[in-house]
Amino acid sequence: MVNIPIIEAPDFQDKVLLHSCCAPCSLAMVEALINSNIQPTIFYFNPNIFPQKEYEIRKDENKRFAEQHHLPFIDFDYEHRNWLKETKAFSNEPERGIRCAVCFSYRLEVTAAYAYENGFSLFATTLATSRWKDVKQITAEGHKAAEKYPNVKYWDRDWRKNGFTERKNQLNKEKDFYNQQYCGCEYSLRDVNKWRISKGKPKIEL
């Protein structure tokens, strides 16, 4: 028996602009939103992903996922060079360090701006479902981004508890979406490969 949660959006909103990092992280969140009659619009803005080939794979998978659920999909810019300018000072930071806070801020600020300009009062991000990320960083950057725009709110909710992570894992086993091997940027690829070599595993080759 599958238990899909019924959730309530802030101010009883019935639509949300959903910044989505990838299909696997979106599965349980979108399922719960649809089950709760809250219409998600998928907003794909992830200029952190390197190389472009990997970006295209993740984007295409996310599009395929949106199509399966008949959801609007906004394909925003891929401006990796600008993202690099913002984060290069923190290239040696570990994952969950300052670089990641800057990366979340970069993506969520653009999401908040899009929400403001396109009539969304609420936005959320699938980044908040990941057990690999520091959710406190994501929440802080989500609120900071929302504060810049009147009448736009960041949906601050725990998307990992109350069965969400278990459901996400179950759906990922059932569906065959591309599952990435590293977070996204060249720095995370470098660090994962360093770790893999130390364990005698083959490098990720793209």
**Which range in 24-32, 70-78, 142-150, 179-187 contacts ligand SF4 by CB under 6 A?**
179-187
Cα 141 from Cα 138, distance rounded (Å): 5
Q: Which is nearer to ligand SF4, 15 or 143 (CB)?
A: 143
188 touches ligand SF4 by CB under 6 A = yes
Angle subtended at Cα 138 by Cα 135 and Cα 141, rounded to the nearest 5 degrees = 150
**Which range in 9-17, 62-70, 160-168, 184-192 contacts ligand SF4 by CB under 6 A?**
184-192
CB of 103 to ligand SF4, least distance (A): 3
Query: According to CB under 6 A, which residues from 95 to 154 bind ligand SF4?
Result: 95, 99-100, 103
**Which range in 4-12, 116-124, 139-147, 177-185 contacts ligand SF4 by CB under 6 A?**
177-185
24 touches ligand SF4 by CB under 6 A = no
Cα 182 from Cα 190, distance rounded (Å): 9
48 touches ligand SF4 by CB under 6 A = yes
- Distinct helix (H) and strand (E) counts, the chain: 7, 5
β partners of residue 125: 19
183 touches ligand SF4 by CB under 6 A = yes
Cα 54 from Cα 49, distance rounded (Å): 7
Tell me the site size for ligand SF4, rule CB under 6 A: 11
Q: What is the dihedral of CA 180, 177, 120, 145, to 10 degrees?
A: -10
